[in-house]
Amino acid sequence: MSITTQPSRRNGVDTAKLFATVDAIKAQNEIAKFQFRAQSTWVSGTHSRSRISGFYGAMQEMTHERETVLEADHPDILVGDDHGPTPVEYLLHALAACLTAGVANIAAARGVDLTKVSSTVEGDIDVLGILGLSDGTVRNGYQGVRVTFHVEGDADEETLRAIVEQSRKRSAVYDVLTNPTPVSVEVVTG
């Protein structure tokens, strides 16, 4: 008689905890309401610094284990001092990270052990838009974004592709980039 044991973690994902969390949220939807935040301070020129620490979720105020400080700037060619990535590069990182987390979770839930996941994200932008130099035909943001995933694991190609596709379907960042999101901008002066 052979005994099959389920690993407590697959792909580094605690699947028992994942399924328990899903069950808890099914029982009480209010747990699912989150609010994330960033605090940003202008430094000089196009250089700014954001701090990410507190958020709301599971009906309580929470904080990350560590505060994260992020620098953003424009490169010299775009009249900045290059103290960090551009704001639009952070969008590409966010997209890759969201899809990758989904791939790991979904593969774990489906019993697939991954050995490697990497991705390259490219975004094309024509700065005629942000400089106000187009006749209105060039948008400010990316004209298109391409993600290329390399995925390896103990499953056939069709299964691995289906995992990436499911991650795309359930990705928060993919949704925000491909669909309109309401954004309000308030100003307090003095």
The distance of closest approach from Cβ of residue 130 to a second copy in the complex, given in angstroms and rounded to an integer, is: 5
Footprint of a second copy on residues 7-36 (CB under 8 A)? Answer: 9, 11-14, 17-18, 21-22, 25-26, 29, 32-36
What value, to the nearest 5°, has the Cα angle with vertex 147 and ends 52 and 160?
105
| Interface size with a second copy, residues (CB under 8 A) | 134
The distance of closest approach from Cβ of residue 69 to a second copy in the complex, given in angstroms and rounded to an integer, is: 10
Footprint of a second copy on residues 52-111 (CB under 8 A)? Answer: 52, 55, 57-58, 62, 64-66, 68, 70-82, 84-105
The distance of closest approach from Cβ of residue 111 to a second copy in the complex, given in angstroms and rounded to an integer, is: 16
Judged by CB under 8 A, does residue 189 bind a second copy? Answer: yes
Q: Pick the binder of a second copy from 4, 5, 6, 185 (CB under 8 A).
A: 185
Residue 20's identity, in one-letter code, is: A
Q: How far apart are CA 105 and CA 110, in angstroms?
A: 9
Q: How far apart are CA 11 and CA 155, in angstroms?
A: 13
The distance of closest approach from Cβ of residue 110 to a second copy in the complex, given in angstroms and rounded to an integer, is: 13
Q: How far apart are CA 81 and CA 1, in angstroms?
A: 67
What value, to the nearest 5°, has the Cα angle with vertex 73 and ends 133 and 67?
140
Footprint of a second copy on residues 144-183 (CB under 8 A)? Answer: 144-152, 157, 160-161, 164-165, 168, 170-183
Give the alpha-carbon dihedral of 33, 172, 96, 109, to 10 degrees.
Answer: 80
